[in-house]
Structure 1
């Protein structure tokens, strides 16, 4: 305000005076850094050059900006800060124009300037104010082409009359269809790390404070991932001003890890037809030589191991721990199941056959349980930390020790059995119960009815205690019904309690797979009971009247003479073997390749979890193995079961006959005597 009054006063004096009149701009001049400004200074009546002297100075420091004297410019008198920046138009002097062009202006050039014109002993001057204009611009928009795994820089330069440290907010965001993702925030001169999205934590940073002071807010993005592809916006806000620029990150190719994933998937594909044809020919010709046995093992192991390595490499770059561990474990554990159903199984050494039969189901159940629920531990640990910091849920804080105890007990029961089917099945039943109560502990129970439904999973374990007191066929039927009921309830509770959770689909598929393994272990347990004769034949039958004693003894004798030899696998085993060795490899590898290519093209995953494909396909294979276990059990015990079923039919007929009223026609009393003899 004072400066404006001074300028107005100077103009008034120059107008009212009768001598030399020097004119200038009517108001302040606004500039932007890096631009140019014309400082006007002129007279209406031209002055001869030999009588003229023009001096440009700053009023605050009396620094000489430019000096025209003795008919020419005097650069030696000029301050060094204005060298080659202050341009005087000598050719316009004859017209009375003494203006000065100031280029490459900075914030230091703001202030009050005066143009003093001397004519002989007479002089006059005009004042010009230069001030910084209110502006905010952002530059740096470009396209970044980078390979996955490398580092890159997203450029963003802020130009403003405001010092960069005083800007209200500078933020980097990734553009999304639903809501922009915060990549970095700089608010009131400080970075805000807690606002950064978890996908970018420890991977983004600004440059040094010196660069920020220059307005350089470029972002260094480390270890580029495929999902980092997309548009990034650098936004700057200060009061009513805002500006932004956009940087696009493109993917030009796979990283070395992605190339490795593709190579191992392709290797699995190449091995399938080569080894599969030879293995199928060997099975078809029923060859059991050592070379055929080695061929079967190679056919089962090599593609499966290659695919497991591909999933591990995928996890290093793009996947997450629970997904990668589950997918890799499923592929590796399938080797035991495939060896169990191969037609060459009987040609394995006795110790290897015993190991495969004891571990194919039980250890698979244990390992999958450990992998999946370990991921849940990590997930719920983060929830526990958040709740503990806010003190919102006292129950959740207290329940964490119980969760950890249940998890350790779950793992102990999963692995701690001596390989026998009875102890393995008992541990699996206990696991099924604990898994449900762990889910109830970690997530909201929602209703007391869910708790009582979970308690039903205890019934199969309790029913094992009635082995000696119930007829065998009844005991088997009830056990199978309870197992099926446990499966339905477990799947329902997972789907109900995990509503809205990102793990819902994967865990529901996982519990379905685990219960199929539980049913398979159940029939292996029953098979073991029959082979070991741990169930006496007398318990197969209800002790009836003396009239049934002879039939009972006859049935006992026939049962005791049954042989315990295994049946030939047959064509059904070959179909299941090829389904697991070829079909699942194709499904897994195609899913992984498609997900990798689509993520590279779109910049984000199409499927949030590959387990939703792998686990259902594994369930199909597990159901086929369960059908084989049921079939093997039926082939071994069908004679006993048929006799037991016939006994129950006979017993039901006798019961029905005893309940019927007596028949008046006595001709029917003795069905063993011919009707003609009765009439005579």
Structure 2
């Protein structure tokens, strides 16, 4: 079971004294990496590959008896595969293989599946309902509450799913994908057709809570996983930049936007992005459980391009809104100028008369 311990058996003839054993090594045959090495009567833990350092050990008291079984702790999905035990003594060499397979899901994995299912269910369900009400031009208070639920709930659940992925993903992958999920409500509030119907105090509280909670999570994960490494300060700076960028996105909402493109971009951000991310995370988890290896090396290659597409679409709409506003202003200015000319002409004629 993933997350538990497993023992990989390997032993030599007990009639050979331990002093005759020159080297015992455990390796992954499918990845050609060293798992653990025993050499010159000493266990060389530092020789282990990064994926296994701190997770493997010999039974020290059993070594004099020729027992070099390997204890593998905190089993992961990528541990699935073939392990090779090689023993070299003064007189002979021998090897044996152990295949680790049928790894079940851990509690974190089941939690990820449940969260992703809830994200898709809430996003698609509320998205379809809102789209129908949008077609009917319903702007009641209930519709505004549905928009608020669609903006907040799925993204918080998606953020939690990415945090649970910390058992399998890299720190950079987890932090980036989680940040994108938790700050997406800020962008969705901006793109919502009912932005002016949302209470200002409610929006301010949501922004403050989301930024504060995830800021604390970022600091915790960076300190826990990065320690004193030089990349730690870089991640702290990135977190601050993302929070500031998210807050500055709440500028004035454009007045003149085409309804259909506006609705499409909003639904894509609120429903499409969470659905894509949930499916990608579930597929990656299931494929890794089957093969023991990552299919997509970094989920950021899925999360970030789709997010960029959403923001780029909104940017195009904003530019369009600015162009329309400028055009209206020019027309209005020209109209006022003509009126002023007529008034001046009428005043002049009255004076002459």
Give 1:299 deviation, angstroms: 2.1
Deviation at 1:411, TM superposition (A): 6.4
Q: Confirm whether residue 294 of structure 1 aligns to residue 145 of structure 2.
A: yes
- 8 Å Cα contact 2:26-2:37 kept in structure 1: yes
Contact 1:148/1:251 (8 A) holds in 2: no
8 Å CA contact retained: 2:108, 2:165: yes
Structure ID, larger Rg:
1
TM-score by length of 1: 0.43
Q: Are 1:148 and 1:255, in contact at CA under 8 Å, matched by a contact in 2? A: yes
1:162 is matched with 16
Change (3 A) 1:643 1:380: farther
1:334 pairs with 2:184:
yes
State how far apart, in whole Å, the 2-side matches of 1:616 and 1:285 are.
33
Partner residue of 2:342?
A: none
Counterparts of 1:320 and 1:310, CA distance in 2: 14
Aligned to 2:195: 345
Q: Which one of the candidate residues 622, 627, 649 is aligned to 2:311?
A: 622
Partner of residue 152, structure 1: 6
Deviation of residue 616 (structure 1)? 0.6
Q: 1:258 aligns with which of 91, 109, 128?
A: 109
SS state at 1:343 partner: coil
The superposition leaves residues 412-452 of structure 1 with CA deviations (integer Å, 9 ceiling, x where unpaired) of: 676679x6xxxx5xxxxxxxxxxxxxxxxxxxxxxxxxxxx
The offset of 1:381, in angstroms, is: 2.8
Q: The residue matched to 2:83 in structure 1 has which SS? A: strand
Residue in 2 aligned with 1:223?
A: 74
- Structure 1 residues 170 and 642: CA distance shift in structure 2, 3 A: farther
Q: Structure 1: any 5+ residue segments left out of the alignment?
A: 1-146, 384-402, 425-519, 529-564, 645-680
- Counterpart position of 2:350: none
CA distance, structure 1, for counterparts of residue 239 and residue 276 of structure 2: 30
Change (3 A) 1:152 1:641: farther
The residue aligned with 1:632 is 321
Superposed CA offset, 1:531-562 (max 9, x none)? xxxxxxxxxxxxxxxxxxxxxxxxxxxxxxxx
1:262-341 alignment to 2 at 5 Å? 262-315=113-166, 317-341=167-191
Deviation at 1:320, TM superposition (A): 2.1
Deviations 1:169-224 (A, max 9, x none): 001111125xx111111101100011011111221111132x11111111111111
Q: Distance in 2 between matches of 1:348 and 1:295?
A: 11
Q: How do 1:179-190 residues align onto structure 2 when only pairs under 5 Å count?
A: 180-190=32-42
Question: Residue 609 of structure 1: CA displacement?
Answer: 0.9
Q: How does 1:311-460 map to 2 (within 5 A)?
A: 311-315=162-166, 317-352=167-202, 378=226, 381=229
Q: Secondary structure at the match of 1:185?
A: strand
CA-CA distance at 1:577 after TM superposition:
0.7
Q: Which residue does the alignment assign to 2:30?
A: 176
Q: Distance in 1 between matches of 2:114 and 2:242?
A: 35
Partners of 1:307 and 1:176 lie apart in 2 by 33
Local SS of the residue matching 2:185? helix
CA-based RMSD: 3.4
> In the comparison of the two structures, how many residue pairs are matched?
324
Report the TM-score when normalising by structure 2: 0.81
Per-residue CA deviations over 1:12-43 (Å, capped at 9, x if unaligned) read xxxxxxxxxxxxxxxxxxxxxxxxxxxxxxxx
Distance 1:354 1:638 in 2: 33
| Residue of structure 2 aligned with 1:601, choices 269, 287, 290 | 290
Call closer, same or farther: CA 1:289–1:568 in 2, change over 3 Å: farther
Counterparts of residues 15-164 of structure 1 (less than 5 Å): 147-159=1-13, 161-164=15-18
Gapped regions of structure 2 (runs ≥ 5): 334-353
Residue in 2 aligned with 1:652? none
Q: CA deviation at 1:601?
A: 0.7
Offset of residue 639 of structure 1: 3.8
Q: Is the 8 A contact 1:175 1:233 kept in 2?
A: yes
